[in-house]
């Protein structure tokens, strides 16, 4: 389930993702790159092992831009609220250069500080979903009160890339934004954590995943490939597997992904 944030947060938060697979699990899940970063609030006692670390229980995790995919070993019940941030949202909220936590998945206290524990406890004690959303809205609004607006070049670039479903060249971005290649690259690394080219590739891949979910296997992969801007089916399969670790056919076979880019293996 996705819930929109307070309107005053829309420039930083895409949505809240509610994951509540309450039956106990002891399994492997995969989170693949979607161009966004996020906060994962753990409302149960699930122990999470990410990126080769030892299993640990934290009230809140933070993840940066994902290089390809993370395998997450989960022991316990998945009862999470994920704050899915805009691609530049984390840098805007907490000021840390996004490239410093590229491909990282770690306890949020390391970046946000101990105030994250207060909101995590409040979320845990709130029993109604609407109350939890209100708490999250208030917490995040407090974080942005003293912040300046996001870099307009980055905002325009991200909006254009998403609108075009990743089917845009970096050269055309330079021209439309009136900014040179080096400046755009530097801004992307600082605010988003990855290069413009990698970001467009990830957006295109996720657009193809949405297309497959929407068509429910009724469209041949060749059609998905061409509509998503790939040269051919072989190119599509190669790129899809690079970022997700599975083929498009395997992705389509998932009975019910927990989210577009979060699967149980």
Domain 152-254 architecture: Orthogonal Bundle (1.10)
Cα distance between residue 34 and residue 183, in whole Å = 23
pLDDT for 93 equals: 92
How high is the pLDDT of residue 51?
Answer: 56
Q: Where in the chain is the domain with CATH 2.60.120?
A: 2-144
Q: What is the predicted pLDDT for the residue at 24?
A: 57
List the one residue out of 50, 140, 65, 51 whose CA is nearest residue 97.
Answer: 65
Annotation: CATH topology of 2-144: Jelly Rolls (2.60.120)
pLDDT tens digits for 70-96?
Answer: 888 877 778 899 999 999 999 999 999
Q: Residue 235: count other Cβ atoms within 10 Å of its Cβ.
A: 12
**Where in the sequence of the chain do the CATH 1.10.10.60 domains occur?**
152-254
Per-residue pLDDT 10s for the chain (265 aa) are 899 999 999 999 999 999 887 555 677 888 999 999 999 998 876 666 665 555 566 789 999 999 999 888 877 778 899 999 999 999 999 999 999 999 998 889 999 999 999 999 999 999 899 999 999 999 999 988 666 889 999 999 999 999 999 999 999 999 999 999 999 999 999 999 999 999 999 999 999 999 998 887 778 899 999 999 999 999 999 999 999 999 999 998 875 678 899 888 7
DSSP state for residue 56 in the 8-state scheme: B
pLDDT for the residue numbered 29: 83
pLDDT tens digits along 225-251 = 999 999 999 999 999 999 999 999 999
Q: Would you tell me how many other CB atoms lie within 10 Å of the CB of residue 240?
A: 26
Quote the CA–CA distance of 200 and 196 in Å, as a whole number. Answer: 6
Residues 69 and 51: their CA atoms lie apart, in Å, by 9
């Amino acid at each position: 389930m996705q819930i929109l944030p307070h309107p005053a947060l829309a420039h930083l938060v895409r949505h809240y993702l509610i994951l509540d697979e309450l039956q106990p699990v002891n399994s492997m899940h995969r989170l693949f790159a979607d161009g966004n970063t996020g906060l994962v609030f753990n409302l149960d006692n699930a122990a999470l092992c990410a990126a080769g670390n030892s299993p640990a229980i934290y009230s809140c995790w933070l993840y940066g831009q994902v290089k390809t995919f993370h395998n997450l070993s989960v022991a316990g019940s998945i009862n999470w609220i994920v704050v899915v941030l805009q691609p530049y949202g984390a840098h805007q909220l907490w000021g840390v250069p996004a490239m410093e936590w590229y491909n990282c998945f770690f306890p949020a206290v390391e970046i946000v500080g101990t105030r994250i524990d207060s909101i995590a406890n409040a979320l845990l004690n709130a029993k109604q979903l609407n109350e939890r959303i209100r708490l999250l809205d208030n917490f995040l609004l407090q974080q942005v009160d003293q912040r300046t607006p996001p870099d307009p070049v980055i905002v325009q670039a991200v909006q254009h890339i998403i609108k075009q479903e990743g089917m845009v060249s970096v050269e055309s971005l330079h021209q439309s934004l009136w900014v040179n290649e080096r400046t755009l690259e530097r801004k992307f690394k600082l605010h988003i954590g990855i290069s413009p080219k990698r970001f467009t590739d990830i957006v295109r891949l996720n657009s193809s995943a949405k297309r497959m979910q929407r068509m429910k296997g009724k469209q041949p992969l060749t059609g998905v490939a061409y509509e998503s801007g790939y040269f051919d089916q072989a190119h599509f399969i190669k790129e899809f597997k690079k970022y997700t670790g599975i083929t498009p056919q395997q992705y389509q076979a998932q009975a019910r992904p927990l989210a577009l880019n979060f699967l149980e293996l």
